[in-house]
Amino acid sequence: MTRAIQIRQHGGPEELELTDVPVSEPAAGQVRIRHRAIGLNFIDVYHRTGLYPLPMPATIGMEGAGVIEAVGEGVTHLQVGDRAAYASMPPGSYCEARVMPAMNVCKLPDAISFETGAAMMLKGLTAQYLLKKTLPVEGLQPGDHVLFHAAAGGVGLIACQWARVLGLQLIATAGSDEKCQLALANGAAHAINYRTEDFAARVKDITGGRGVKVVYDSVGKDTWDQSLDCLRPFGLMASFGNASGPVPPFAPGALGAKGSLYVTRQTLFSHISSRQATQAMADDLFAVVASGQVKIHMAQRYALADVQQAHRDLEARKTTGSTILTLP
């Protein structure tokens, strides 16, 4: 048996219950990992509320780090005793130990702690595919402007630093002056408090009226329309989340009127659909973190038993950087 956080129905944070669940031996292609730390992400809220519905009862959580306890047949890239970290489907990381598919589990370099590993895999791999793979038709070159919403969050602070490494001029938005300062301290070239400023107007000022080549948006409904106004002709609107709610239907003709724009809805799990792709992206992330060029900010830690409060704080946008759940 292992301790785990489960939900028996979709709903609010009060649905998250600490309970005992059985844990088995891994089958072919699986591993059993004992967690040392667990990552908290906004997708966990979507699973809890039912925006992304799950069969019940469900253990949620997409990210963790720990030690491999057992290896199933056919798994060759991991051995018992290896330090490991992952961002992976299916959900289930809110627990002390779990059996899971081995495909997205990667050996964690000795230079990276378990807490850092748990805090960075989903968010860091997301920043990697956004900045390296989710590109406008004209590509990105050093000096180009990009707009990144929620830039003081876990993905955002990694993206601010990584964009600076790539020579990009990242324009950050956040919901308070303090969060804007945090984004600037982590490499953003400009920061806009979207609660007190018209971010579309500021973007046009910053870019001399041209607009940005790409907008990276995990906020959704509240930022969508103005974000389209921030793009230059042939620019890319890259949606990868819905923190304020799903984007409502829109007329494709509006994209033509605003400059023949492109729109894409990205998800990490399309990018890590093979062992080779997962490892290549993880190696890129491990290298930039181990070098010190990108630092992972763990601004909040909660005990696994306090996960209800963690979800309340995340939904209230009280958090910055990455949040982890700790184990005894």
Please name the amino acid found at residue 192.
Answer: I
The domain segmentation of the chain, as residue ranges, is: 2-123+282-326, 135-265
Question: Is domain 135-265 annotated with CATH 3.40.50.720?
Answer: yes
For residue 220, what pLDDT band results from cuts at 50, 70 and 90? confident
Amino acid, single-letter form, for residue 1: M
pLDDT computed for residue 73 by the predictor? 97
194-219: average pLDDT = 96
Segment 125-135 shows an average pLDDT of: 97
Tens of pLDDT, residues 87-100: 999 999 999 999 99
Cis peptide before 55 (omega within 30 of 0): no
Can you tell me the mean pLDDT for 218-236? 94
Residue 321 scores a pLDDT above 90:
no
Instruction: Give yes or no for residue 111 having a pLDDT over 90.
Output: yes
pLDDT of amino acid 318: 86
Comparing CA positions, the residue from 316, 315, 318 lying closest to residue 42 is: 315
Give the pLDDT confidence score for residue 80 in this predicted structure. Answer: 98
Residue 177 Cα to chain centre, angstroms: 22
Please write the tens of the pLDDT for every residue from 286-295: 999 999 999 9
- Residue 77 is predicted with a pLDDT of 97
Helices of type H across the chain? 42-49, 114-133, 154-165, 177-185, 199-206, 224-229, 253-257, 268-271, 275-290, 307-315
Q: What is the pLDDT of residue 299?
A: 85
Instruction: Evaluate if residue 221 carries a pLDDT over 90.
Output: no
The pLDDT tens digits of the residues spanning 274-284 come to 999 999 999 99
CATH class entry, domain 2-123+282-326: alpha beta
Q: Which of 3, 92, 85, 14 has its CA nearest to residue 47?
A: 92
Q: Residue 246's pLDDT is what?
A: 83
Examine the pLDDT at 113 and tell me if it is beyond 90: yes
| pLDDT at res. 55 | 95
Contact 155, 126 (CB under 8 A): yes
Sign of CA dihedral 145, 241, 324, 177: positive
Task: For the chain, give the percent of residues with pLDDT over 70.
Answer: 100
Q: pLDDT for 32-83, tens place per residue? A: 999 999 999 989 999 999 999 999 999 999 999 999 999 999 999 999 999 9
The predicted pLDDT at position 328 comes to 84
pLDDT for 319 = 86
Q: Whole-number mean pLDDT of the chain?
A: 95
Q: Give the pLDDT score at 161.
A: 98
Confidence of residue 24 (pLDDT cuts 50, 70, 90): very high
Least confident piece of the model among 83-92, 261-270, 316-325: 316-325
